[in-house]
Structure 1
């Protein structure tokens, strides 16, 4: 009997990913200073146009997940994860995850299945245009949520859409919206021009002001059908899974920034004539965080690599990464604030922005409980049942 061992999946960054990270970090270190982040939040903008232009036009990073035949770079989720980890580290206010990852993944899937309308939009996304998948920010690839938009036929490939979608990420200045809708008993995916007057977008008051969301209302809006049935469902599921897998990289970026801040502060802050990092309690707390961050990094790289290499357990890897990385990022930032003492609680220090991002990210693309249930189902474990309450 011959036993075939599958090729190992990398759990560390390769040289290409390291080069991508170095390039992106050089740009972000120059532009995303602590003062810039605080000024951006105070200004109330959705994203920074100049930074988005630099990422898309100067570096060409918005086309990484777009195949060369559709006008992109033909890279993989491994390289995109390298970009996302640096964007998370800098808390960069750009719609990269929602547009260049999630919406792009859905549109590329539809274009490969023969949709010319999707292919046209994909080509423009490679040049820096923005698109958004019109699903709630908290929707997971494993929860099977029903669309809240209804579609009515008006032609062979056109529908009229009506309904509301709450808390959608990345709709500001979007060229197009990718809208899942129910047409009778069939799921359809429709392409809508975002600036049509019949699309209402109301900005919400979010915890994380660096990643705003909007409630969308569609009042008999015309849309072009780009996928139906199983193909539409696969496009949405794949997009959300890719988003969840790469969100783990963003969370690792948040961890890395917080750990760097904690290490620096423990070194320069003196108490009783010695650095506070020399005290065993703080030293051990920092060491435990370092271990947790390395575990999170391995999970995030594994999730991106399984998608890049089309490994069979890529869905398991995405659920596992989100089960671990979200809670880790929040804990690392909370511990960093504690280590900073009083300065960590001030509005002038950017730590509160990272705390808000880490907190918000624990529910983006589904919370840990949702992903634990998905993981249990995928690996054949029974989901836990609530303990009975005895009165």
Structure 2
């Protein structure tokens, strides 16, 4: 009778947690762990750095096993990536998707708390090289998770750039480009069915760089400014990030998906750039990221969606010295390659730096609200699901 009672309890427990949609992001503040560099810390040292900074939500762009293993037993929550170049094979072959999930996700659960899989990155809105493979890859990976009884533990998403929008100002005019809709709408329909959010890479830095004559830099940096009013909704915006998010909400609503949540999967500000990138300074980067932390710590929504708490992964842990493109691309890191801070926004690096005293600590920032109960439930559910 005792074993029957325990088994019945597990079944009831599993049924209960299955009624809650999985969340890959259980806090409000996360960070992207890019590794296009030849001089950065080892994955184990990165774990030490992140735990010291109390950054729990981490996103990588691939499925490197040395990184996944380094996060084992740490309590940090990881989103792994299926790179764009893998989309064709995973989309064309369900068995390939199953093998990928088994080898790169299931094999590391529950010790490594893999919470999500990002299927590609910024696939839509540019060239159509991978656009036709995105939905198939998303469905095959989700179905593999479902067959392995992991779809209530690991969330499937994909991140979009601002390039998917044809209009974004004022926010109420937000709409997807005509050539994106054919791919976007069926993707949103599937994500709506399985409870996945719309993931957006939003950079006030880039918007300001492209429109310096129209955008007040204080508006982009969360500094005091007159802001702007949306003539249609009459809503007031005092910072550019909120306006970018609400433009995306408007686009979703116009497409018929007004209830879908938005997660910011990348945002940040470059600390150094080319001569043509005058806004890329350590002072501006520090201001943006310091104020971003304060804004996220308030756990509030946007003017258009005040009840949808804004969640964002900052880009990125490190300056990445091997990234192509303008100088700014290699200088988004909160930390230098040796683990010292690039500038002080309240974190402490593994090594001391002259930047340590450049800004007072963020004493007013509360905990980031990691929804500890949900995290415990998800951890327990992973372990239990793997027993069946």
Q: TM tier, shorter chain?
A: under 0.3
Give TM-score scaled by structure 2 length.
Answer: 0.25
Give TM-score scaled by structure 1 length.
Answer: 0.25
More helix by share: 1
